[in-house]
Amino acid sequence: MKMNAYIAGVGMTRFGKHMDISLKGLAGKAIREALADANIDSSALEVAYMGNAAGGVVQGQEMISGQVALRELGIGKIPVINVENACATSSTAFHQACAMVSLGAYDVALVCGFEKLFHEDKLRSFAAFDGAVDTESPEGVMGALKILAAKAGEVVDVANAGKTRSVFMDIYALLTIAHMKAHGTTREQLAGVTAKNAFHGSMNPRAQFQQAMSVEEVLAAREIVYPLTLPMCSPIGDGAAALVVVSERKARQLGLSHKVRVLASALVSGYDETADDLSVGAFAANKAYESAGVGPGDLSLVELHDASAPSEIIAYEYLGICGRGQGGALIEDGSTRLGGRLPVNVSGGLLRKGHPIGASGAAQIVELTEQLQGRSHQRQVANARIGLAHNGGGMIGTDAAATVVSILRREH
The residues that are catalytic are 87, 355
Residue 255's closest CA among 6, 81, 76?
6
Strands 47-51 vs 260-269: parallel, antiparallel or unpaired? unpaired
Amino acid at position 289, single letter = Y
Q: Directed axis angle between helix 309-318 and helix 280-292, to 10°? A: 50
Extended strands (E) in 102-173: 108-116
- Cα-based distances in Å from 206 to 12, 127, 309: 8, 26, 20
Amino acid at position 28, single letter = G
If one counts every other C-beta atom within 10 angstroms of the C-beta of residue 374, the result is: 14
Task: Give every CB contact of residue 394 below 8 A, 6+ residues apart in sequence.
Answer: 85, 86, 87, 88, 132, 133, 270, 400, 401, 402
Please count the residues of the chain.
Answer: 412
